[in-house]
Homo-oligomer: A and B are copies of this chain.
Amino acid sequence: MTTLSTKPPSGTRDFLPEDIRKRQYVTGVIREVYESYGYEPLETPAFENIETLLGKYGDEGNKLIFKILKRGEHEQTGQADLALRYDLTVPLARVVAQYQNALPKFFKRYQIQPVWRADRPARGRFREFYQCDVDAIGSTSPIVEAEQLAAMATVLERLAFTDAVIQLNHRALLTALIDVAGIPRALEGEALVALDKLDKIGRDGVVSEMSARGFPATAGPALLDLVASSDASQGGSEAAGGNDWVLERLERSVAGHETGARALQDLKDILRLVAGTAAAARVNLAPSLARGLSYYTGAIMEATVEGIGSLGGGGRYDGLIGMFLGRDVPACGFSLGLERILVVMSERDQFPPDVSSGAVDILVTLWDATTAQHALRLAADLRAGGLRVEVYPEADKLGKQFKYAAGRNVAFVAIEGDEERTGGTVAIKDLRSGEQTAVARNEAAAFVAQRLHSRPRH
């Protein structure tokens, strides 16, 4: 009838039920945690007017934006007037401008929605993927950073990333270190981009990149020395370690540098505030953390897991959110790498068992179409008892129905023949053990529920 491909478009995915259950579990935890911190949900349209997006992501970004043809007779001209959302930050900036009088003075929002980028698809890189952003608008207080670090730590904990740490640094501190190293201010952006690659290309790689970009010969090594000397994870010294140790080193490095001193005070404030929160044991000062993007203006943070890398990050960016208002608006936020988190959680088996259990708790069997109304009544009763119930829709051999249930990872089947009906019971078979029990009908739901919840964790 047709020879069309039925695959989803290149770089996109269909999410089948078991995928969605995992995704919903993760986003459910994230929502719950963010809401407990007073963040509120926001959603914006999939597409924006094209002028809203063009020019916001640089030349490279402009090319990666999916553009939508004008409708009607304009279709012929090839003119585009709309474009698919490229990130969640520009839409937030638009919302902040559009609803400035309706939004609270301190607007704390989270947004979990897909974005689209016409990148070349590759392993782990998609053209449609979810972003998961949390941002606090309207305050420069370090309480914002501290609460975000706590929220990030709580999410990681709830998702069983017991080994995750959060690296914390400050853009103004990096500015100071760059100054002290003798790198001209005009090269600051390039210094950050190079430093951002330290994990990937190592010290020598960063130094030669800096030389290639025309940095003064001693400046690159000087910056790397400054960073390394205060980096607990790179110190190698027995005495190295702990945020106080790092602070002490940094204080020496930026002594007398006004911007550096202010940044250090900021970090100290944040660390003091974090002490009573879920993030207390997870936040490590990391002077080498640069984060590539140019728009950060204050603290920067990144959640990492040894051997895995980054699970997300962010920081303060006081100059961006006001882009449509024409004035600076304080903002601090971070983004979790939802797709990455899902991959790692699957690999490391971090989902609770009920997330990967079957679609339903019990299958009501049917082997005689003339008694189907009883099967539906039984299903209704089991649902009223809180169970997720599927009714096998066609009269068939019981063995076949058991096999169907097992294939769908359903643990229990209910069998109600004439005999059971007369006696007011129902036979419940546990497909994992093979055990079959006659249970009073009005106790059947509780019987199954109790056994479901006592399932061994895998």
Give the contacting residue for A68; candidates B64, B68, B359, B391; CB below 8 A. B68
Give the contacting residue for A6; candidates B94, B272, B327; CB below 8 A. B94
The answer, yes or no, to whether A80 is at the interface (CB within 8 Å) is yes
> Which residues of chain B have C-beta atoms less than 8 A from A380's C-beta?
150, 276-278
> Which residues of chain B have C-beta atoms less than 8 A from A128's C-beta?
45-47
Q: A420 to B12, alpha carbons, bound, how many Å?
A: 56
Q: A17 to B17, alpha carbons, bound, how many Å?
A: 28
> Which residues of chain B have C-beta atoms less than 8 A from A408's C-beta?
104
A272 touches B373 (CB 8 A): yes
Q: A164 to B21, alpha carbons, bound, how many Å?
A: 31
Assuming the contacts A14-B44, A20-B41, A389-B38, asked whether A9 and B49 have C-beta atoms less than 8 A apart, the reply is yes
Q: A109 to B205, alpha carbons, bound, how many Å?
A: 52
Q: A76 to B323, alpha carbons, bound, how many Å?
A: 29
The answer, yes or no, to whether A16 is at the interface (CB within 8 Å) is yes
| CB 8 Å contact bits of A259-286 with B (1 = contact, 0 = none) | 0000000000000111111100000000
Q: A35 to B24, alpha carbons, bound, how many Å?
A: 13
Assuming the contacts A4-B52, A390-B108, asked whether A14 and B278 have C-beta atoms less than 8 A apart, the reply is no
Q: A169 to B403, alpha carbons, bound, how many Å?
A: 35
A13 touches B45 (CB 8 A): yes
> Which residues of chain B have C-beta atoms less than 8 A from A143's C-beta?
366, 372, 375-376, 391, 393-394
A273 touches B376 (CB 8 A): yes
CB contact list, A1-23 vs B, under 8 A: 1-2, 4-9, 12-17, 19-21
Can you report 11 residue pairs joining A to B where beta carbons are below 8 Å apart?
Answer: A2-B323, A4-B52, A7-B98, A8-B45, A9-B82, A38-B389, A67-B68, A77-B78, A78-B79, A143-B391, A147-B379
Q: Which residue of B is nearest A13, CB measured? A: B45
A116 touches B372 (CB 8 A): no
Q: A114 to B114, alpha carbons, bound, how many Å?
A: 12
> Which residues of chain B have C-beta atoms less than 8 A from A82's C-beta?
9, 66
A43 touches B67 (CB 8 A): no
The answer, yes or no, to whether A69 is at the interface (CB within 8 Å) is yes
A105 touches B404 (CB 8 A): yes
The answer, yes or no, to whether A134 is at the interface (CB within 8 Å) is no
The answer, yes or no, to whether A146 is at the interface (CB within 8 Å) is yes
Distance in Å: Cβ of A394 to nearest Cβ of chain B = 5
> Which residues of chain B have C-beta atoms less than 8 A from A108's C-beta?
390
The answer, yes or no, to whether A377 is at the interface (CB within 8 Å) is yes
The answer, yes or no, to whether A63 is at the interface (CB within 8 Å) is yes
CB contact list, A48-75 vs B, under 8 A: 48-49, 51-52, 63-64, 66-69, 71-72, 75
> Which residues of chain B have C-beta atoms less than 8 A from A144's C-beta?
393
Distance in Å: Cβ of A158 to nearest Cβ of chain B = 12
The answer, yes or no, to whether A407 is at the interface (CB within 8 Å) is yes
The answer, yes or no, to whether A139 is at the interface (CB within 8 Å) is yes
Q: Which residue of B is nearest A330, CB measured? A: B393
Distance in Å: Cβ of A106 to nearest Cβ of chain B = 6
| CB 8 Å contact bits of A329-351 with B (1 = contact, 0 = none) | 00000000000000000000000
> Which residues of chain B have C-beta atoms less than 8 A from A161's C-beta?
none
A37 touches B2 (CB 8 A): no
Give the contacting residue for A97; candidates B6, B114, B276, B324; CB below 8 A. B6
> Which residues of chain B have C-beta atoms less than 8 A from A442's C-beta?
none
